[in-house]
Amino acid sequence: MASSIAAVLRTGSWADPLRPYLDLDRRPDALSIALMVLGALGGAVGLAFVGYNLFVHGHAAFNTSSDMAWGAPIAFYLFFLLSSSGLSILASIDSVFGVHAFYPIAKRCVFLSMITLIAGFSILALEIGHPFRMLWALPFSLQIHSPMWWMGVFYTLDLMLLIVKFWLLHTGQWHTRLTHIVSVLSFVVCILAPGTLGLVFGMMFMRPAWYSPVMPMYFILTGFMSAMAFITFFTAFEPKATTPANVRWLHEATLPRLFFLSLLAVAGMRFGQLLTSLWTNYEGMEANWYVLRSDMLQAELLVGLVFPILLLSTNGLRRNAFVRFAAAVLAMVGIFLARLNLLIVGQIVPLFKGYWAGYVDYWPSLTEWMLVPAGFGIFCFIYGAGHWLLRLDAQPTQAR
């Protein structure tokens, strides 16, 4: 199907104005076709399933409740948004800090950052009660004391700057003054956005399991680790024959080491979090002990941190593409679980509901789980198309 679409695009005269910007004459490779087909299928099935159930049952199709107000959809949304911020940081290493070794992945990271943001926003639109009302009520309210309002401001700016930055890179303007300014602004915003998202949780003094000045830093750091998993996932199987030596070195040595370091940093921070969580007030202790005893936490730590760290612990292992790929997949699954754990620990003890209320009983419904193929479907389809048409491995040709 994708090949026939490509044929139509190659021959159609209406596509002529797009030719300078899109590689319409290039045949899509197997990866692009696979991602677009899988993405279209996953996205269509996921969105149709979620859309139908929301239409018939409303948000009662989710297992969230007045006690567990934020459930798995918010966890999935966090996963995509924080990964996006991490990818944007990664894309800034060259354009802001001048580390030229990262040029080969810069454009790909900007594109990945854009589409993870789009996938996250799509999930949010399905979770929130009135997404269209949000479009006018949020900007016109100027609720500057709400961290969520600032989060909306920064993530909107983030997406706009990423689009401009991608356009500049796509049109070959790697070293212009404008590109540098946009890159610096984008870097500042991609730190502020996840930091503010951290404040959305970290400022909740009434929920001791969340209340922490470290939460913004945790979000930024785990976002970066998640971004490392994303880029490792998509660069693990670059064809050796056609990949230049410096790019292979980046993929096989530099990125895996940075991935390994980011995993160690997250592990250290998580260890500190778990230790400090052992002593807090009653509600916090109950919530923390609940999570400490849960299988979900063990899965998060083993799958998301211990196994990937072991897999990337030596140079020999890091050079193996399958090992890198496996470490990336495990880290992504682990951070996915970490987001869900975070949501649960903050709400598992209901606020002021009496002793009889017990813990909040929550596990995501099938409709909530189907947001995963919906979100990943959107992500994979756009990435596949970008991989085919947008020369994501482009590097600067002009002198600096």
Partner 1 sequence: MPRWGMVIDLEKCTGCQACTTACQMENGRLPNENWQDVLFYNEGEFPSGKLTWLPRPCMHCENPSCMAVCPTGATYKTEDGAVLIDWDRCIGCKYCMIACPYGVRFYAEEKQKTQPDIREVFPDPDGDRVWGPPWQLPADRQNNKIGVGIQPKNVVSKCTFCYHRISQAPPGTRDLDPNDPNLRDYTPACVVTCAPTARYFGDLDDPESEVRRLIAEKRGTRLLDHLGNRPQVYYLAGEQPAIPETRSVRMRDEGEA
* CB contact at 8 A, 379 and 27: no
- Based on CB atoms, which residue is closest to partner 1, 167 or 290? 290
Smallest gap from Cβ 316 to partner 1, in A, equals 43
* CB contact at 8 A, 73 and 126: yes
CA 379 to CA 39: how far, in whole Å?
7
Residues contacting 175, CB < 8 A, separation 6+: 396, 398, 399, 400
Smallest gap from Cβ 328 to partner 1, in A, equals 32
- Based on CB atoms, which residue is closest to partner 1, 199 or 225? 199
Smallest gap from Cβ 277 to partner 1, in A, equals 13
Q: Which amino acid is at 387?
A: H
Rama region for 146: left / alpha / beta (φ>0; ψ in -120 to 50; rest): beta
- Based on CB atoms, which residue is closest to partner 1, 3 or 143? 143
What angle do helix axes 321-347 and 72-95 make, rounded to 10 degrees? 130
What angle do helix axes 321-347 and 282-292 make, rounded to 10 degrees? 150
Distance of CA 300 to the CA centre of its chain: 17
- Long-range contacts formed by 5-14: CB under 8 A, 24+ apart: 6/388
DSSP 315-359: HHHHH-HHHHHHHHHHHHHHHHHHHHHHHHHHHSS-TT--GGG-S
Closest CA to 149 of 76, 199, 87: 199
Q: What is the residue whose two structure tokens read 């404040």?
A: 199
- Note the residues at the interface with partner 1 (CB under 8 A): 58-60, 62-67, 69-70, 128-131, 133-134, 137-138, 141-143, 145-149, 152, 200, 204-207, 282-283, 285-286, 289, 346-347, 349-358
Token pair listed for 298: 């063990």
Residues contacting 90, CB < 8 A, separation 6+: 102, 105, 109, 224, 227, 228, 231
- Based on CB atoms, which residue is closest to partner 1, 235 or 288? 288
Smallest gap from Cβ 193 to partner 1, in A, equals 15
- Based on CB atoms, which residue is closest to partner 1, 70 or 259? 70
Smallest gap from Cβ 54 to partner 1, in A, equals 10
- Based on CB atoms, which residue is closest to partner 1, 59 or 180? 59
CA 210 to CA 212: how far, in whole Å?
6
- Based on CB atoms, which residue is closest to partner 1, 54 or 160? 54
- Based on CB atoms, which residue is closest to partner 1, 15 or 134? 134
Smallest gap from Cβ 59 to partner 1, in A, equals 4
Smallest gap from Cβ 341 to partner 1, in A, equals 16
Smallest gap from Cβ 205 to partner 1, in A, equals 6
